Structure 1
Amino acid sequence: MSEASIKRAALYRMVTPEHICPFGLKSRDLLRREGYAVEDHRLRSRAETDAFMAEQQVKTTPQTFIAGERVGGYDDLRRHFGKPVPDPKATSYQPVVAVFGMALAMALAGSWASLGDVLTLRTAEWFVAFSMCILALLKLQDLESFSNMFLGYDLLAQRWVRYAYLYPFGEGLAGVLMAAGALTWISAPVAACIGTIGAISVINAVYVERRALKCACVGGGSKVPLGFVSLTENVMMVAMAGWMAFRTWA
């Protein structure tokens, strides 16, 4: 390849002892993957960064220049190459897919390791139990954000606010005990109780009152709409509670 045919781009990104801009690294990576030789200009202080932004009349870094023309920041660069730019407000089921996908993989692995087969009754039990544990973990990462969203639709929490804080602990406790197959006299009533209240709350908010809300099932920062996913979570808990009780006492 001749020198003249090499595609070149100039990238200005912030790299200081306190902060390495992640979007600068993503911009450099994208340019290289698109076949560009990158002139990597590092802005090594806040003052240098501010001076650059003032000179270019921009409000953010990184900034990419191709053929002497400013393309812009990382999102602008993605658009320049015809790549999608995620909408931060758009509905996303990715957290739900991740939760249930990982729970299934863990259940299959556990069954394979302990029973020598991936498709067993314990696989199904562990799938539900592990799903409950992961969902509880996501809620507990930011209990305040979860409670704020949960209070928007849960009928019991609206009457007794502390329930919004207790819910993830109950879900996690029931999930752990169900995974162990132990203390069913605790796990089954807890799961049945919170699952039933949750299902009734979702049906009331979505299908009776027809409110457009976000689901707190994967935590307070969820972009998942309230409806089928949350209802499925609660129905799974009730069904699992019934099954564990039947298996233990029948």
Structure 2
Amino acid sequence: MKPIKRKDYEAALRPMQVELTAMARWLQHSGQRLLVIVEGRDTAGKGGAIKAISEYLNPRQCRIVALPVPSDRERGQWYFQRYVPHLPAAGEIALFDRSWYNRAGVERVMGYATEAQVAAFLHAAPVFERQLVDDGLVMLKYWLCCDQAQQEERFAERLADPLKRWKLSPVDLQARSRYDDYTRAREAMLEATHTKHAPWTLVDFNDQRSGRLTLIRHLLDHLPDTHIPPEDMSLPPLPGKPAKDRFGVVKPIPAFVPAAGDD
């Protein structure tokens, strides 16, 4: 399948983003809480998918959660504890760019967690998520799929582009030789955590534009009827002539010169 052209992608994305703003209005009106977990291989396109969702949403309502490496204190907490403060409150959306599933993926493959810790996580995650869903949280979990050849092209692009070099970490470089290890870790994760109350959806992100459209369409189609008419607003004529603002170069503030006798 040929990659979707930018013009066609933007034409398809625009009406979906209008639907996303309606979704945000519905959340505010209903007090519902929406959590979207976006997981996937390095370079799969998690950040781009989250940007496409959040681009026209109010950042006070829609929060992107991308946590750094845990601190020493956080390593001594209950594993899910560092994520709980970032869950959405009433009327909010939280977009998790990676999540507690780090334990079943990168932490397992790179040896940052023991097999006993991974086994405990795979047992606890469905229980934890069941509590969230039973409490009324709307949760959608996405895994972005990317073939190894496509991943290699994206690694090379990041290496060559000074604006994208920050995306390339030592862990990413090690991941290149562990593609099959990540596959096995993912399959074990899916087997343990793909549940009726919190299922996974796998999305083909070999073409990132097509993948974003697929993901957003799925998200919108798996929410309740979100149609809430926008508030009726108008702009009446100004009472007088529009005022002008001042512009130009502001004179610098003179340097402070202490008076004689001052220390």
* TM-score normalised by structure 1 residue count: 0.23
* TM-score normalised by structure 2 residue count: 0.22
Which structure shows the bigger proportion of residues in helix conformation? Answer: 1
Q: Looking at CA atoms only, which structure, 1 or 2, has the larger radius of gyration?
A: 1
